[in-house]
Chains A and B, each alone.
Chain A
Amino acid sequence: MGRTTLSPATARSTRSRGWRSRLPVALAFSVLLTACGAGTEDDGGNAATDDTGENSGGTSGDPILIGIGVAQTSPVALLGQEEVVGAKIAETFFNDKEGVNGRPIKLVFEDTGGDENGAINAFNALIGKGVVGIVGPTLSQQANAADPEAERAGVPVLAPSNTAKGIPQLGDYIARVSAPVSVVAPLAVEQALSMDPAISTVAVAYAQNDAFSSSETATFQETVKAKKLNLATVQTFQTSDTDFTAQANAMLGKKPQLIIVSGLAADGGNLVKQLRELGYKGLIIGGNGLNTTNVFPVCAKACDGVLIAQAYSPAYDNAINKEFLAAYTAGQKKQPPQFSAQTFTAVQVFVEALRTLDKEKPIKDMDLKTLRTELNQAVLKGKYETPLGPIAFDPEGEIIQEKFYVAQIKMGADGQSGEFTFVR
């Protein structure tokens, strides 16, 4: 910064007149910069925020837009990308079955990225593009930020993977197809106890910068105490951590027979791996954030044996799950994961609610604002037969689901391939 050339400040003071012409020109330049870029926009993105009802007033061939706002980039994409797959399968599936009483559906994707701001921007973009409803976002942490935007705009949201406490309570337009942790998590603990009744000491670790993990761990800890087990230590980490030496050693020092990890795929997987390397031989329960095959490359052979509670089983025997299973395995060559099934279910709920609504009051006569509100009500009133089993919603938007499972990871001999084997 210290240059011996003539200081521009002093040089300029000798030309004190002329600021008048400079200031507006420079300001105009900045505005021009923004408007210039803007002027070359195509208008596809500027669908009505006013209610002239574009799509619904169109011909019967006009597709109904459903927004998918999940994480397609950032480490959260490890979960989000399974949701994208599930959504795309749903789109093809339902369009093949005449869509909504003859009209096709079209999915509009907006990437939320991994943080709250990205989710807000994605939701706002989707709302602006005229979607009738949104499926997303991936993380409960993001939902806390983005759902209020949808609530304010009167757009129904179906969350495929938010399991923290309080999500449906964010608004009248917010509902979810992902059962809350308070319902699902205790099952894993029960399963662990049935596999090893001698468990007495438990160590817990969770990602403190993630709303979902913090919520899930509260449930786990309550369950542990309710079962009269000794909760020896609670360790915290960040989802961005990679080295868990300190936490692992602290937990192992208490000689637990059961360790429970609540985090996301990358961090959770690494913690499991490091625990095994340090010689831990007991049972490990993973939370919903580890519930993806994307955790296999992280912990490889060490993933073997981890118990994770499930809201979905590929083996569930009903017609739509069989069709979903067939469509999924044909394209992906492996078993469908929970997140894909849940996203498929979310799209299904929207489609079936639209069909029902359309039969009562033709939706093509509705303007967008009304359609969104009516759809929201239709969603909450309906009962659906989905890959997750029969589901319905309570008035707040919380899912009512009957069937839950527990799976255990079984890794192949090479440590690379693995699968979730259902044990309950």
Chain B
Amino acid sequence: MGDFLQKLLNGLAIGSVYAIFALGYTLVFSILRVINFAHAAIFTVGAYLTYALTGARFGFNGILKNSALPFELPFWLALLGGALGAGLLGIVVEQVAFRPLRKRGSDPLLTLVSSLGVAIAVVNIVQYLFGAENYSYQDPLGGLPGKVDIGPAGIRTVQVVIFVVSMVIVVALTLLINRTRIGKGLRAVAEDADTARLLGIDTDRLVRLSFFISGVLGGLAGTLIAMSVGIAGPSFGIAFGLKGLAVIVLGGLGDIPGAVVGGLVIGVAEAFVPDSLVSYREAVAFVVLLVMLLVRPQGLLGRAQVQKV
């Protein structure tokens, strides 16, 4: 029983990491029907920004070697700053890579590659400026103990924090989309952008807003995950990018609670891979993705797509 519980906790812990990443992804998809690959880069930038805002020093690689900001913020403020900065970057990405293509009515495929180009560029700019070294935050949890015991099983405190935060975000997002005027506007744009514009809704502003929120979520996710595993170099977000795809398809492309469900399911599935097959763990997410696409492409929580003729 203890073993089962431990594995379940492990699964939920890693699952909520995936979920947090996927939330920003799926938000943009739900509004614009495009996958924003640059999300992985925004995620990375958020983590780096938080690091810089805590006044920490960068290492001896990169153009800005050995630099540090002249002030220090307490961790939670730095986290906020990092997330907001990431949100702003999200808007920049939208203006540069998405807007021109949207105006032209281009293929979503083209938007995907364009956002990928931005992702590659951003990640490498970070590397050019700061080098490829690892960083971790100085004692982000304050004095909290490193581990929390739940019955016979233990889990790292930071993982509990991530889980709680992802739950909070999903509730907040769902409330935003379903209960507020802005949310209604977003849903209108998602349904049919042209009609929404005709009805007087400022689609451009709403699109920018959704990218901002997605960026904030991405930056937040980046910082949270960096709290857990450290910043492993500028490309530490790219690995999440791929798994994130599996997560959002599983949950249903564009479905916000789906992103969390998808993340948790994949996390738990990975945790329960038997020890003898442990090196196949990486394939679990993609097997799930493949099976879902063949069996139920709309995901667990999505609605079946009707093909319009």
Given contacts A73-B132, A265-B134, A297-B134, whether A236 and B278 have CB atoms under 8 Å apart is: yes
Contact (Cβ within 8 A) B61 A81 = yes
Q: Mark B256-296, 1 if CB is under 8 A from A, else 0.
A: 00000000000000110001001101100000000000000
Query: 12 more A-B contacts (CB under 8 A) besides A240-B239, A415-B139?
Result: A81-B61, A242-B229, A243-B228, A245-B14, A249-B10, A253-B3, A267-B232, A273-B136, A277-B158, A278-B156, A298-B134, A300-B138
In the complex, the answer to whether B61 meets A77 with C-beta atoms within 8 Å is yes
B21 adjacent to chain A (CB < 8 Å): no
Q: Are B279 and A300 in contact (CB-based, < 8 A)?
A: no
Taking CB atoms, residues of chain B closer than 8 Å to A253 are 3, 6
- Nearest A residue (CB) for B278: A236
Tell me if B126 counts as interface (CB < 8 A to partner A).
no
Contact flags A212-235 to B (C-beta < 8 A → 1, else 0):
000000000000000000000101
Q: How far is the CA of A233 from the CA of B282 in the complex (A)?
A: 20
Q: Is A269 an interface residue (CB 8 A)?
A: yes
Within 8 A of B (CB), among A271-286: 273-274, 276-279
Residues of A within 8 A of B (CB): 1, 73-75, 77-78, 81, 208, 233, 235-236, 238, 240, 242-243, 245-247, 249-250, 253, 265-267, 269-270, 273-274, 276-279, 294, 297-300, 415-416
Q: Is the CB of B136 within 8 A of A300?
A: yes
- Find the B residue at minimum CB distance from A300: B136
Residues of A near B232 (CB, < 8 A) are 75, 242, 266-267, 270, 298
In the assembled complex, 12 residue pairs joining A and B whose CB atoms fall closer than 8 Å, in A order, are A78-B134, A233-B275, A235-B278, A236-B278, A242-B230, A245-B271, A270-B232, A274-B156, A277-B156, A278-B156, A297-B59, A300-B138
Query: From residue 221 to 248 of chain B, which have CB atoms closer than 8 A to chain A?
Result: 225, 228-230, 232-233, 236, 239
Point out the residue from B59, B107, B135 that lies within 8 Å of A1, measured CB to CB.
B107
Q: With A238-B282, A415-B138 in contact, do A75 and B233 touch (Cβ < 8 Å)? A: yes
A-B contact count (CB 8 A): 94
Minimal beta-carbon separation of A302 from chain B (angstroms): 9
Across-interface contacts of A297 in B (CB, < 8 A) = 59, 133-136, 230
Q: How far is the CB of A150 from chain B (nearest CB, A)?
A: 26
Please measure, in the bound complex, the distance between the C-alpha atom of A233 and the C-alpha atom of B10, giving whole angstroms: 18
Residues of A close to B239: CB separation below 8 A = 240, 242
B171 CB to closest chain A CB (Å) equals 25
Contact between chains at B6 and A77 (CB < 8 Å): no
The chain A residue with its CB closest to the CB of B139 is A415
* B154 touching A278, Cβ below 8 Å: yes
Interfacial chain B residues near A299, Cβ < 8 Å: 136
Question: Nearest 4 pairs between A and B by C-beta?
Answer: A242-B229, A277-B146, A298-B134, A266-B232
B53 an interface residue at 8 Å Cβ cutoff? no
Nearest neighbor of A301 in chain B, beta-carbon distance: B139
Considering the chains assembled together, what is the distance between the CA atoms of A77 and B7 in angstroms? Answer: 35
How far apart sit A242 and B228, CA to CA, in the bound complex (Å)?
9
B159 at the interface (CB under 8 A from A): yes
Instruction: Verify if B49 is at the interface (C-beta below 8 Å from A).
Output: no
A269→B231 CA distance, assembly (Å): 12
Contact B132 A245, beta carbon cutoff 8 Å: no
Contact A243 B107 (CB under 8 A): no
Q: In this assembly, does B17 line the interface, its C-beta being within 8 Å of a C-beta of chain A?
A: yes
Nearest Cβ in chain A — how far from B197, in angstroms?
Answer: 22
- Assembled-state Cα–Cα distance A321/B217 (Å): 52
A243/B132 in contact, CB under 8 A? no
* A246–B154 touching, CB < 8 Å: no
CB contacts (< 8 Å) of A274 on chain B: these are: 156, 229
Pairwise interchain contact A246-B133, C-beta atoms closer than 8 A? no
A246 adjacent to B271 (CB under 8 Å): yes
Question: For chain B residues 180-204, which have a beta carbon within 8 Å of chain A?
Answer: none
Question: Which of B59, B233, B239 is the most central at the interface, judged by chain A CB atoms within 10 Å of its CB?
Answer: B233
B13–A294 touching, CB < 8 Å: no
Q: In whole Å, how far is B149's beta carbon from the nearest beta carbon of chain A?
A: 9
Alpha-carbon gap, A238 to B232, bound state (A): 13
Query: Nearest Cβ in chain A — how far from B151, in angstroms?
Result: 14
Contacts of A233 in B (CB 8 A): 275
State which of A238, A242, A250, A300 has its C-beta within 8 Å of the C-beta of B236: A242
**Bound CA–CA A238/B109 (angstroms):** 31
Q: Is the CB of B136 within 8 A of A243?
A: no
Q: Assuming the A-B contacts A242-B230, A273-B230, are A278 and B14 also in contact, with contact meaning beta carbons closer than 8 angstroms in the complex?
A: no
